Structure 1
């Protein structure tokens, strides 16, 4: 029996500035093939503000979620920061910087990451472990600021990155209950995407794919098998069938990526995924729960519905959360 975990509240900070695809600064430098792939992603614009860094985005979302829950800084027992892809400084601590910014002086604080766009999953696993291990601990704040690692926002041939901050207050009870959580990784792809940054000015950083055929074919086949296997395990151990799900909340990589997941698993995606893909682009680890909450706000899902939340990364990592929308009044135990 797994320990209970729930999202008590969630908040996002999206820059007000919205950049249409045609206004991307790097557009003139793209090759014809890159431009064709970019325009076929299904992304029309991204939220982008170069004046905000990942810390600013995470802090803004965290302040909002604390205000929404009326939690004081001293009410936060732990802070888990999902690390950025490109920290502002070496050796300094992104996690304790955010702790200081928010005034969370008594919070147990650390960071997690290493799985790219799937790095939210280890944060949830760590939060569940803390809540299970210490009955005096009640509120865990998870925060992440998502920014591109390079000056260019287009990741060929994957997606187009926007900016966002996300903050979650996790507890044992709440309106979004995490019923189960699975994660798998394959280290063979550890450097499929990389940025060679040493001895290069930041303006010259470029993300490179080691082998586009590996990404488009070999990893795609493995992802299909991994996702099918994860969903089968998730449903079996919770006594469910695919027909019992209200839908899937997935990352906003591309329209083709959405179709791939839906065809692979035979379950409909929540309509909000497509809308947020068009208007926000890819938001790293922040996509999936934003889509879930948007779907609830738009009444695409209702209390009592169960949804599978999927995070993937070309690291490669795959994870699935089974969540249940409810009133948040009782803990849910597996």
Structure 2
């Protein structure tokens, strides 16, 4: 399945963002994750849980059902499941069949996010969650907040590709956050078994349109732009702006931000997309909620339109790759290795 081998679309053994922590409350929250319905809610003691969102009786959506204490009672026939997935009540009979139960998923709240492990629960190692210091979440003095959740009608790898190739900033986002230097500046990479790091150091460059329009800077700037892809679906970005060398106050920090894009497969061709941001300037973060809306809309538009093409063509031609695709290719290969390893384990167990 484009751009992976047939049958592959996303790794299962990995931590994905299921929701922002502030989305989860007493009410049942329905979300599809890796082609499975999931329900998230908080128990009476405040603990967030994630369970399968399908009643095993007639496949009725449990997200459309109701809470009974810390349990979920199916709205179709009243079959009830506790927060651990165990069936505790069947109204039509006195005994509960041993096969009755729903899956409970490992769920960990860290930072702004609730992280879910959709794969083998025995492999759910919390140390594999992106480190909050590495992603810039707990920088001293920085104010972080969740911005938006979007359900995107496009497969998750299209958004990964988008975030792994920031040369698009100067063109797709030419009216807001990008300049041609986002593509023209050489890229520096660091690759580990956990993440791919990309940086561009733009020197003496014109500021992006949004900075000029809002009067944030005057004259040329030095800018750092980059993204770290933490497998299998979390991107942590950096954007620091300083006064350019040769200008009064050269080197002074003008703007600093950290952005986070979490892309979680919903179905094979749709995605849960979460965006958040942090900055030492609280007002700039609150202001960004509005001016970044059209920027995210442009990325979503590109994703949706590409999805329409690749799902409609009878035969998808091969991509004509460019030098700037190097980071995205590394990301695809890393995810394919994860999926190949999972497939090998399944075949060995048969």
Greater C-alpha radius of gyration: 2
Higher strand residue share: 2
| Normalised TM-score (structure 1) | 0.25
Where relative contact order (Cα < 8 A, 6+ residues apart) is larger, the structure is: 1
